[in-house]
Amino acid sequence: MLLDVKRINVPPGQRVLLRDVTWQEFERILAELGEHRSARIAYDRGILEIMAPLPEHEYDKEIISDLLKALLELDNEFISLGSTTFKNKNMLQGIEPDQCFYIKNEMLIRGKKRLDLIVDPPPDLALKIDVTSRTNPSIYQALKVPELWRFEKGKLQINLLRDGCYVESQESANFPGLPLIEAIPRYLQQSATYGRNATLKAFRRWVREQIQSKNYD
């Protein structure tokens, strides 16, 4: 492919679609784009999508990530890897979530600097914010990511992998018993009025109350 990737300009909220991209070309494009960039990529058997997020997308991603970390910090060892590129050469697929977490499999990747999904497990939970881009759930599904959160138009959708396919769920497998589909959008919206720190403090208090009420049941 005679393509100078650095000359491709993707305006915020837009995407570029490239077809007939070989795995070797995909790897070269990733190297040319570098790690410190705002654009996200998705590769599915020859089709490469390059997306540039809007500021709205980044705000939602940061706050929801903070809420997830607040949940995990209560009683979990975890590793958050942000928009790490996850790829599997054998499947000819690759994806960059907006945020991802190793929770149950945290021990298996602790200390690793490079991950290879041919031998390493995928993240236990991936987050994708859909403002203008599409999520590509089929790629997450093929890479066997157990739990995929999709946030779009103010609503949270939780997808759990069951028999190789995603099934929409009212509960998170990683945080069972918590009504997060209602709570996450509510606290995200609250952050725009009260600020990040006040919102996280209120969210942590809400989580503790939820746990205590279940202990008394």
Domains and CATH numbers, the chain: 55-216 (3.90.1570)
Distances from the Cα of 207 to the Cα of 65, 92, 149, angstroms: 15, 40, 19
State residue 134's pLDDT score.
60
Mean pLDDT of each 10-residue bin along the chain, 217 residues long? 60 80 90 77 90 81 96 90 89 91 96 89 93 72 95 94 96 95 97 95 94 69
78 Cβ partners below 8 Å, 6+ apart?
A: 69, 72, 101, 102, 103, 106
Integer angstrom CA distances of residue 60 from 55, 57, 67, 106: 9, 5, 11, 25
Long-range contacts of 137-141 (CB under 8 A, 24+ apart): 137/166, 138/44, 139/42, 139/43, 139/44, 139/93, 139/94, 139/95, 140/95, 140/97, 140/166, 141/165, 141/166
What is the per-residue pLDDT for 4?
Answer: 58
- Distance, in Å, from the CA atom of 4 to the CA atom of 1, rounded to the nearest integer, reads 9
SS3 172: coil
pLDDT at 1: 47
